[in-house]
Structure 1
């Protein structure tokens, strides 16, 4: 029986020396290339150079070395096919039984802030994916390993049974094709961006698993948490959990909603979220002041909620947070004193996100939503408005303070499920109407929640008023100013109602539906 051979060529050399040494100790000949061959030789492991197998030198700066019939026939030959066996013998070709390959670090390369196009392209692996695909296709006979985490299991099976099992080879082959698909998807996305292709004829995405979840929205639904390969700093997917129970599917959704809102603000801000809608938002000169405002917005709904801050949580804030039951607190960081206070609560999850860049948050990314049999893709809603862009459409101009509160409310209503109404006053939300089938219904909820606080407050609406009833309701509650997109064929009705009640109203020209 011919001696078994393994082809080893890895960019990530973690664990490869010990793995190759074990294979060699089991009587497997090692074929290798370039830097991997040099490393193994330095470690005293016998290596057959790839040129000795192909009879052809590695050329073009290593671009061409394994793309050769002597390699791919050894990978693709069907061992129990008589014609294949005869061809191999006639041509003096040998089989390759094990392939251990990982690829040029394309992801790490394009993650560098100063990477150039030529460097990125040079780190597109060609020979590696080709060998992996050949070996994985012929997994009936070839064991292919792309992940160092599988080294130990493969060795164990060889030691115990003389070879890997077909079940293992199938599993490893599937892993290879997932790996090469993800690799190609990342390359395709990068090159599409470089070519200015925004929504190409094929939209391919790839994510890597962070963790399995106990279940989804409900206990009978399976779920897992995945991360984009180039997830940004300050994203939930890169957060460090400092304390508490494992995150659930609903926790992650709510935390993501809270984080999106708190990132709207440059000043210290705190957001409380329940069921992906804000129940309280506050800004202040300190994170403690901002939290007090967020809490006072709705002391009932915040119970069992998610709280996000855009500043380091200090001891004063932690003391207030510890007074009620919360699922998660997430922030750029926590002071040691704050951690000492909050970690006394066994189950609260504390997530450290690190500092994030406001400039990065204003860059849109593609959002993917599943539908039956397909998906929808759209840019994230990062559009914001400045005071200079607002159009006053009423006789009365908003005061400076009203204008400030209107812009605050506009940042919040953008993240509330439509139809959405937000009432704001003193740098905090005082009423939120979310996800109603009609706009006046959302306004009634917000006004009822605000109660007497509504008098002197401002109102923000995510979309235009189809008629004047919302303005009339606002006037009765004592609202003094309104911000809305405008654009209804019945705008004049709303403007007239505002003028009749002395309400200042501004149009943004921008809608923020969130379904």
Structure 2
């Protein structure tokens, strides 16, 4: 059946009652009979609308604390009956089943219940049963029934009725059915994911991920790739939850890089201002300072060339002085917990600069599941939330690091976690002074980072490269002494690395020969 279906009867049973009364009133004005349940029926009656209770239709009262109310043949028969099937029509007449042309259901707020940290039993009680069953039944029978699961589709239903003389078209019902099935799939994914976590099932037999469309993007990483941005419903502060104050729409690469920048800057406690500048998902400068302006300028001085057109993340409020300095070069996005009114006014002159505020920083230690698609499947792992303290470090050289070297080593190690492997990071006095990322050879990353430092010294008119007197971090062990020797030649005085290579002793010997201090972490930070 492909022709329009008259809408004569609607069943409304919603948890989120936003817009409910206005929508129901508009349906009633178009001659649609309203069926409803429990609190939804109460809300409609209080608004002066005429409503039939589902319990009146089924002949059974709601029972078991509302767990059983719509799971009945007179409800599911009305949703599932094929109107052009003689046997179905006979069954309806025999058993007094009335057709339902529109189902309006939004589900118990399970995701919101989990998000607020509710107890296990409370989460269980917020798993909807009747709602998903009705949604799936009505959506299967979209040849005759329209299914609405989102408040934002109320207006579309009314527009459809107005355009088709009180009827719904097959194409419209198909679109609603797809939306409905995606909603129940996302709901079940949320339930199964939560339950796996609740019972400690690290690798469940089946895994489902779901998201809600936030934005259709102009294109993906490249103009010939289609793309969209979906939200997973978590409350983790970041680009997904941020408020955009100005600037054009974020692109695929903007979102990816902004996330990388904000996750990195969150590694640094808010007691001291910190800034991270990201280009193509890699840091090109990270620094702390006494002020946010100082933190930004020190991060910028690590690699002024790469910072052009980059993403800037701050761990404290963006102030006017920092905003003024940022405006001196082209920047794609600035993200911070907050921004002062003065800073916003300064940025207002930069129409294409996006300013995002999040209200908070993400917790770098929070357990998060990440996944990556591969051909025929996807890889799932916990987010790299590994961290070390002074007590975790093992000094392996004759010379132990000084207090300042230890501070810089820990700083460099935090940055290393966010640099693509093979990662080499030079740090001096709480600021990166050279970053080597994503090379196939670790020694190449060491050389590139040193070369960038030398280039910046020339730009800044310095007599010596910024790496002179620095410390260096390697995200994984040095497989040979050549990388360490290159770092020493660049002026590094201390090394932090995981250790664990068959040639560790060769590397330790090379460090001792050059008077370097070196510590092992026992932890690596591969980032691919």
Shift of the 355–435 alpha-carbon distance from structure 1 to 2, 3 Å rule, reads same
CA–CA separation in structure 2 for the residues paired with 1:335 and 1:441:
42
Unaligned runs of 5+ in 1: none
Alignment of 1:37-436 (within 5 A): 37-113=41-117, 115-159=118-162, 160-232=164-236, 234-266=237-269, 267-356=272-361, 360-436=363-439
- Does the aligned pair in 2 maintain the 1:293–1:428 contact within 8 Å? yes
SS at match of 2:477: coil
Partner of 1:493: 506
CA–CA separation in structure 2 for the residues paired with 1:10 and 1:396:
68
- TM (normalized to structure 2)? 0.94
CA–CA separation in structure 2 for the residues paired with 1:383 and 1:335:
33
CA–CA separation in structure 2 for the residues paired with 1:492 and 1:239:
48
Shift of 1:3: 9.3
Correspondence for 2:481 among 449, 452, 468: 468
Shift of the 217–43 alpha-carbon distance from structure 1 to 2, 3 Å rule, reads same
Shift of 1:23: 2.1
CA–CA separation in structure 1 for the residues paired with 2:95 and 2:466:
89
CA–CA separation in structure 1 for the residues paired with 2:444 and 2:227:
34
SS at match of 2:168: coil
Shift of 1:161: 2.8
SS at match of 1:156: helix
SS at match of 1:300: helix
Q: 4+ runs of 1 displaced by more than 4 Å? A: none
- Does the aligned pair in 2 maintain the 1:3–1:29 contact within 8 Å? no
SS at match of 1:236: coil
CA–CA separation in structure 2 for the residues paired with 1:302 and 1:62:
58
Shift of 1:19: 2.0
- TM (normalized to structure 1)? 0.96
SS at match of 2:284: strand
**RMSD value, Cα:** 1.6
CA–CA separation in structure 1 for the residues paired with 2:364 and 2:146:
44
CA–CA separation in structure 1 for the residues paired with 2:427 and 2:160:
65
Shift of the 3–286 alpha-carbon distance from structure 1 to 2, 3 Å rule, reads closer
CA–CA separation in structure 2 for the residues paired with 1:157 and 1:381:
48
Q: What is the total number of aligned residue pairs between the two structures? A: 511
- Does the aligned pair in 1 maintain the 2:7–2:168 contact within 8 Å? no
Shift of 1:474: 2.1
1:204-254 residue CA offsets vs partner (Å, 9 max, x unmatched): 11111111111111111111111111232x221001111111111111111
- Does the aligned pair in 1 maintain the 2:7–2:101 contact within 8 Å? no
CA–CA separation in structure 1 for the residues paired with 2:63 and 2:487:
76
